Amino acid sequence: MNTKREIVSLHNVIKNYGHGKIITKALREIDLKILEGEFSAMMGPSGSGKSTLLNIIGGLDKATSGEVKFNGKDFNILSNKALSIMRRNHIGFVFQNYNLLPVLTAYENAEYVLMLQEIPISQRKEKVMHLFQEMGLEGLEHRFPRELSGGQQQRVAIARAVVTDPLLVLADEITANVDSETAQSLLELMKKLNKNNKTTFLFSTHDPTVIKFAKRVIVLKDGKISHEHTSSENIEKYTQK
């Protein structure tokens, strides 16, 4: 019996873009559940709906119809402010282009969300420093993003995403702008966070390296989930194709 709780639950989710006669169906009747502690990846060709699905799961966009639940709460009825608070407290985002604030140091970038949460300074410092130590970012605290390599910036971005102990981390093509060695180390790091902290990760990717790390791969095609692989064997097969 599976006792893991549902972090994300999508039922019959449809997302259309456009008005009148010109309508693009980005997502078609998606049913999906993400459980606590999963390390999953979504893959599919460009235009398959990966980003749209990730946006809807992250509360950045609203579904045209269907039910979107995050941690038991229906996103469709939450106000923008409530969604914002939900993202701040329970969802971490890692972007392809890192999107760190250039005027803040690595430490301050990671501290930023904790500050939004109004966590006391002593706790903020403890959390960020502990995380930096765990992620191999020691000594880089006072560097600005422009003074860091792509891999280091992405580590800081991951630190920013996980520092609040979110229920879910959504990562979009995070290995697209780094070399394969850095990609490997970033994924190892996230795997470690997933194992140690039970943080749930959901990736959107084209990168076979990410697929290799994932315990579950959701394949999207034309706005629909075409199939899923849950065993490592199947994933191996898929990545070899």
Chain positions contacting another protein, by CB under 8 A = 50-51, 54-55, 58, 60-61, 80-81, 84-85, 87-89, 91-93, 95-96, 99, 101-104, 108, 112-113, 115-116, 118, 121, 160-161, 170, 172-173, 204
Q: Closest separation between CB of residue 236 and another protein, Å? A: 27
CB of 81 to another protein, least distance (A): 7
Q: Which pair of structure tokens corresponds to residue 76?
A: 């469709």
Q: Based on CB atoms, which residue is closest to another protein, 3 or 83? A: 83
CB of 17 to another protein, least distance (A): 10
Nearer to another protein, 147 or 236 (CB): 147
Question: From the CB of 165, what's the least distance to another protein, in Å?
Answer: 14
**Residue number with CB closer to another protein (94 or 219):** 94
CA distance 179 to 170: 21
Residue 136 CB, shortest distance to another protein, in Å, is: 22
Q: Considering beta carbons, is residue 7 or 113 the nearer one to another protein?
A: 113
210: Cβ contacts below 8 Å, ≥ 6 apart: 41, 174, 175, 183, 187, 203
To another protein, the closest distance from the beta carbon of 93 in angstroms equals 5
**Given the complex with another protein, which of 84 and 230 has the nearer CB atom?**
84
Distances (CA, A) of 14 to 8, 197, 208: 16, 33, 28
SS (H, E, C) the chain: CCCCCEEEEEEEEEEEECCCCCCEEEEEEEEEEEECCCEEEEECCCCCCHHHHHHHHCCCCCCCEEEEEECCEEHHHCCHHHHHHHHHHHEEEECCCCCCCCCCCHHHHHHHHHHHCCCCHHHHHHHHHHHHHHCCCCCCCCCCHHHCCHHHHHHHHHHHHHCCCCCEEEEECCCCCCCHHHHHHHHHHHHHHHHHHCCEEEEEECCHHHHHHCCEEEEEECCEEEEEECCHHHHHHHHHC
Q: Which CB atom, from 51 or from 182, has the smaller least distance to another protein?
A: 51
Tell me the closest approach of the beta carbon of residue 142 to another protein, in angstroms: 14
User: In this complex, which beta carbon is closest to another protein, that of residue 101 or of residue 234?
Assistant: 101
